[in-house]
Amino acid sequence: MKKLKKRIIRIKSEEETRALGFLIAKDIEAGDVIALLGDLGTGKTALTRYIAKGLGVTENINSPTFTIVKEYRSGRLPLYHYDVYKLGDGNDLLDIGAEEYLEGDGVCIIEWADIVADVLPDDAIIIKLEYGDKESERIVTIERR
């Protein structure tokens, strides 16, 4: 993704999260790493699902909590969707062979990325999701690491 300035976006509905996911999908390039931060249920998997749809992934995207990573190859770029909630730190991520993907041919999206922050590339795109005042509101902060 080129020319990324820090942006704070106030989202009012899941439909807007969908629109954001599609915009991100248009811009991302091979080798991009998207680090998703945010509490339980803020929409990390939902946003990943919409980015995947925008990339043209046809499979259903479910949270890879138990498998740590799932690969999807039906889109414009290979997508590696991580959920590192169960890992202790970045070394655990390298132990499962993630290095190849972090530098690779596809796009990595990592839920709970703060846990593995020590091994993320310097140019990772950080997307933080926070709850807003109303049920479907979210405050989304996007910046380059």
Ligand X SMILES: Nc1ncnc2c1ncn2[C@@H]1O[C@H](COP(=O)(O)OP(=O)(O)OP(=O)(O)O)[C@@H](O)[C@H]1O
Please, which residue, 31 or 136, has the CB nearer to ligand X? 136
Pick from 33, 44, 115, 120 the residue near ligand X by CB under 6 A. 44
> Taking the complex as a whole, how short is the minimal distance between the CB of residue 5 and Mg ion, in angstroms?
27
Q: Which two tokens stand for residue 21?
A: 């996911």
Q: Burial of 104 by CB count in 10 Å (0-12 exposed, 13-18 middle, 19+ buried)?
A: middle
Do residues 44 and 110 lie in contact, with contact meaning Cβ atoms separated by under 8 Å?
no
Got the DSSP string for 119-136? GS-TTPEEEEEEE-SSTT
Q: Establish if 114 lies at the interface with ligand X (CB under 6 A).
A: no
> Taking the complex as a whole, how short is the minimal distance between the CB of residue 95 and Mg ion, in angstroms?
22
Please, which residue, 37 or 120, has the CB nearer to Mg ion? 37
* Interface positions, 49-78, toward ligand X (CB under 6 A): 63
Q: Which residue is nearest to ligand X (CB)?
A: 43
- Residue 30, SS3 per DSSP: coil
